Amino acid sequence: MSPRIESLQAKKLIGHHLKVSLINNRTGELWAGFAPKIKSLKNRTSSDKISMQVYARDYFKSFNPNLEFEKWACVEVNNFDAVPAEISTFTLEGGLYAVFDHKGSSSDASIFHYIFSEWLPNSNYQLDNRPHFEILGKKYKNNTANSEEEIWIPIQL
């Protein structure tokens, strides 16, 4: 599976975020708190939802499922002019990304094993220290075999 390489422009995101780890995965709690608010949010650029991970610079140096990172449930907006008080803002820095079209359950981590253990080490790229995210569009169906999403991995030459 080969990704497409895209140069992303900066994006304005709004949503909720929590500290999580692979052992203490609070993704369900995060989305349960944010999802009911999505329809009322103004200035959205699309109906897509975004699941984003913000890792510390040394997060990938050695695997530790207890290491915490910041997980976001968010949407893209045109501006931050009408953001409700209980919603946080985040400006996603632009840059180069490897984009993998994934079909299958979001609970199947094998795609990430492939990306980090096979594709990335054999590519001309290295991981960049920017957020990772998934675009959950119209074809996304949480934890079902026919679900589709885009996985965006920050890279640099």
Model confidence over 85-139: pLDDT tens digits? 999 999 999 999 999 999 988 777 889 999 999 999 999 999 999 999 999 989 8
The pLDDT of residue 1 is: 77
The pLDDT of residue 83 is: 94
Model confidence over 56-95: pLDDT tens digits? 999 998 888 999 999 999 999 999 998 999 999 999 999 9
Q: Where are the domains of the chain?
A: 4-156
Q: List C-alpha distances in Å: 10 to 123, 130, 139, 146.
A: 25, 11, 24, 30
- 3-class DSSP string for the chain: CCCEEEEECCEEEEEEEEEECCCCCCHHHHHHHHHHHHHHCCCECCCCEEEEEECCCCCCCCCCCCCCEEEEEEEEECCCCCCCCCCEEEEECCEEEEEEEEECCCCCCHHHHHHHHHHHHHCCCEECCCCEEEEECCCCCCCCCCCEEEEEEEEEC
The pLDDT of residue 105 is: 81
The pLDDT of residue 48 is: 97
Residue 33 tokens, joined: 């708190």
Q: Tell me: domain 4-156, CATH 1.10.287.3510, correct?
A: no
Residue 144: band (very low, low, confident or very high) from pLDDT cuts 50, 70, 90: confident
Residue 44: band (very low, low, confident or very high) from pLDDT cuts 50, 70, 90: very high
Averaged pLDDT for residues 13-39: 95
The pLDDT of residue 53 is: 98
The pLDDT of residue 140 is: 86
Percentage with pLDDT > 90 across the chain: 81
Q: Is the pTM of this model over 0.85?
A: yes
